[in-house]
Structure 1
């Protein structure tokens, strides 16, 4: 019995040692191998969402995003920093999966708030990217084209930078996986693109009714430029499906003209977009788009488009790009 009582007492003492720190900060020893600062991902993709989303996009609407570094080897934050530099040579010999070149973002397209990523006692350090109007004027900025290539140059407050391990006698780029035993994580090629506020996934009954819109068809509208988007429509004609890509070009009053991008198809029409233009399901205001057009297909087949569309979601998800190193 005495032995049992001693065991219970020891257990209670152990529990007390945990609960005593319930309202305080707990500190843990660092990993015996030390702390290593790094970029978690080497080829992330960041889409600037200029329209609505379920999460906060206020930074996006300021044409900004953040590039962050972190570190491993400790449960605790760090009062340290790492300096970074733009290194456009990271993009040399690289192509995206579709064969197009990985291109360093032109210097006039962006600026960095700082080259010193200060952790300030936390687990991450960051720099804020400010995109310029030139970026949004570039038609290639709506797809994976441009990356901001950063390399860590030095650090303070950590044990090391995650510089990787090369194969014996090997030289060459950080991006050439063939020369590395352990891949480096001291660099990032931060790909940035944007999606305009008219694009994303919309709900439509394919008419002017918005009744039960949450159960309606889901259609995607894609970005072409900052002020224009593409909507692919389909019509049944006997046993055939007629398709056309419609270009929606918006003015500064959020009215649009509708034309056709499909060879052999003409379209004439107008439309409009309204921010929070309709009070819809889940008791929430949502964007509303109204489109009216006459579309003429081959053989003088005419179809009319008269639709109201209610915004559903941006469709943007976490993404990394794959690339090939070409010797």
Structure 2
């Protein structure tokens, strides 16, 4: 009988515990709510092509500017904010390097609405902006020169003082820009002495990293410096000494509609030519178990440099290092990061 009684008590206790439910604690909102721009000087890079994060808007030449609401535990209503372009916000202002901050020209964009909505259940909302072809045709848009200045001009909520505006820095990179893994074969003619260098590490990602930067929508710059041994005068020793000399060379890659490209040196002291082709996900299972974008290049570069002849009273002589390269580039990353700027 005692066992039965104990069993019944246990069941009752278990029922008591299981019948209790933790309810979500509801907090009251603050006495008033504010709307504002969380950051005043962000930099937005329009990333064309793929990236580790979604780029659908970027490839439509669009972006969104976000505002947020504070003073609520949970947003229980749609909140509308009126915004307007205010170029006076950048009048007479400069970037940290001293260059002038320029308001984004009116024909470079279209503000798709002057009303920004923070929807029920969310604490942020955005207004969408459409960029025009003129933005991408401007070489200055490949680096930070332009800013879209927006100000909150109306809201039912209070507007947070000092955060009622945003200077939205803008630039873009084309789909070829980024850090690339370079591997291949170089046939070298160093003043008549010929050799072949094969650049193939055991693991693809261990090969040399090279970089492409944006010059235009379909034009990229590719830096391919080399080194040679040459005599240079040492002021401290008051004598000529053989040293390692770096020879810069920048290649301009211009892509066509079929994604083939021409290769032309754009640096004084190097000449040559070549061709290539970009292929979306062309490097199959390249690294990290994923397909990667690929550029296959074939080019010849003549690096001309000055040396000094020890057998002819140190007379200056012109020498050449000619490199014929079969160069395959595999995309590693797009070199994008969170950025802000300083106003002076």
Fold shared per TM-score above 0.5: yes
CA pair 210-54 structure 1, distance change in 2 beyond 3 A: farther
Task: Say which one has the larger Rg.
Answer: 2
Aligned length in residues: 285
- Whole-angstrom distance in 1 between the partners of 2:141 and 2:91: 19
Indicate whether 1:132 and 2:135 are aligned: no
- In 1, are the aligned partners of 2:253 and 2:262 still within 8 Å (CA)? yes
- 2:334 maps to 314
- 1:179 maps to none
More strand by share: 2
Higher normalized contact order (CA 8 Å, seq sep 6+, divided by chain length): 1
User: Which deviations, in whole Å up to 9, do the C-alpha atoms of 1:44-89 show, x marking residues without a partner?
Assistant: 1011111221111111111111101002111212421110010111
Output the TM-score relative to the length of structure 2: 0.78
Residue 305 of structure 1 deviates from its aligned partner by 2.6
- 1:114 maps to 113
CA pair 309-276 structure 1, distance change in 2 beyond 3 A: same
Residue 28 of structure 1 deviates from its aligned partner by 2.5
Output the TM-score relative to the length of structure 1: 0.82
Residue 252 of structure 1 deviates from its aligned partner by 1.0
Structure 1 range deviating more: 93-102 or 298-307: 298-307
Runs of 4+ aligned residues of structure 1 deviating over 4 Å after TM superposition are: 208-211
Residue 236 of structure 1 deviates from its aligned partner by 3.0
- Whole-angstrom distance in 2 between the partners of 1:205 and 1:278: 12
- 1:167 maps to none
Indicate whether 1:154 and 2:159 are aligned: no
Indicate whether 1:231 and 2:222 are aligned: yes
- 2:343 maps to 323
Indicate whether 1:283 and 2:261 are aligned: no
CA pair 243-36 structure 1, distance change in 2 beyond 3 A: same
**Residue aligned with 1:136, SS:** helix
Alignment of 1:71-220 (within 5 A): 71-77=69-75, 78-121=77-120, 122-156=122-156, 158=157, 160-163=158-161, 184-207=162-185, 212-220=203-211
- 1:175 maps to none
- Whole-angstrom distance in 1 between the partners of 2:268 and 2:248: 11
